[in-house]
Amino acid sequence: MSRAYDAVVVGGGYFGCAIACYLARSGKRTLLLERKEIGAGSSGSNFGNVQVQDSEPGLSQRLTMDGFQKIRTLERELRCVLDYRDIGSLVLAGSEAEMEGLTSMAAEKEKLGLRLELLDREALRRAEPNLCVTGLVGASYCRQGCLNGFKLMYAFLNGGTKAGLEVRENCRVAALIMTDGRCTGVRLASGEVIAAGHTVLASGAWTKPLCRAAGLEVPVEYVKAEAFVTEAIAPYLNHYLSMASFFTEAHGQPGAATSFCCSQTPAGNLLLGETSKPGPDDPDVSPDLTSQEHCWGIAGAVRRYFPSLKGINIIRSWVTCSPYTESMLPAFGPSGMDGLFLAAGFKSSVVLSAVVGEITAGFLCGRAPDYELAEFTAQIRPVRAL
Partner 1 sequence: MSCKGCEQIVCRCEEVTEEEILEAIRSGRQTLKSVKRATRAGMGACQGRTCSALISRLLTAEGVEAEQAWEPDKKRFPLVPVPLSAVEGGEPGDE
309 lies in the site for partner 1, by CB under 8 A: yes
127 lies in the site for partner 1, by CB under 8 A: no
For the segment 145-184, give every residue that binds partner 1 (CB under 8 A): 150-151, 154, 157-158, 161
Adjacent-strand bridge partners of 28: none
Sign of CA dihedral 279, 331, 226, 12: negative
39 lies in the site for partner 1, by CB under 8 A: yes
228 lies in the site for partner 1, by CB under 8 A: yes
Residue with smaller CB distance to partner 1, 123 or 233: 233
Binding residue (CB under 8 A) for partner 1 from 85, 126, 316, 381: 316
For 232, residues 6+ apart whose C-beta sits below 8 A from its C-beta are 265, 267, 268, 269
Q: Which of 154, 145, 19, 156 is nearest to 78 (CA)?
A: 156
Asked if 107 and 9 count as a contact pair (C-beta separation under 8 A), the reply is: no
Distance CA 10, CA 203 (A): 6
Adjacent-strand bridge partners of 183: 178
- Shortest distance in whole angstroms from residue 355 CB to partner 1: 24
- Shortest distance in whole angstroms from residue 293 CB to partner 1: 7
- Shortest distance in whole angstroms from residue 82 CB to partner 1: 12
317 lies in the site for partner 1, by CB under 8 A: yes
Q: What is the dihedral of CA 237, 115, 54, 92, to 10 degrees?
A: -40
Residue with smaller CB distance to partner 1, 222 or 228: 228
- Shortest distance in whole angstroms from residue 233 CB to partner 1: 12
Number of residues that bind partner 1 (CB under 8 A): 39
Sign of CA dihedral 321, 325, 330, 335: negative
φ, ψ dihedrals at 135, nearest 5°? 85, -5
Distance CA 233, CA 196 (A): 49
299 lies in the site for partner 1, by CB under 8 A: yes
Distance CA 102, CA 96 (A): 10
- Shortest distance in whole angstroms from residue 104 CB to partner 1: 27
314 lies in the site for partner 1, by CB under 8 A: yes
Residue with smaller CB distance to partner 1, 2 or 313: 313
For the segment 229-268, give every residue that binds partner 1 (CB under 8 A): 229-232, 267
Binding site for partner 1 (CB under 8 A): 37-39, 44, 150-151, 154, 157-158, 161, 228-232, 267, 289-290, 292-293, 295-296, 298-304, 309-318
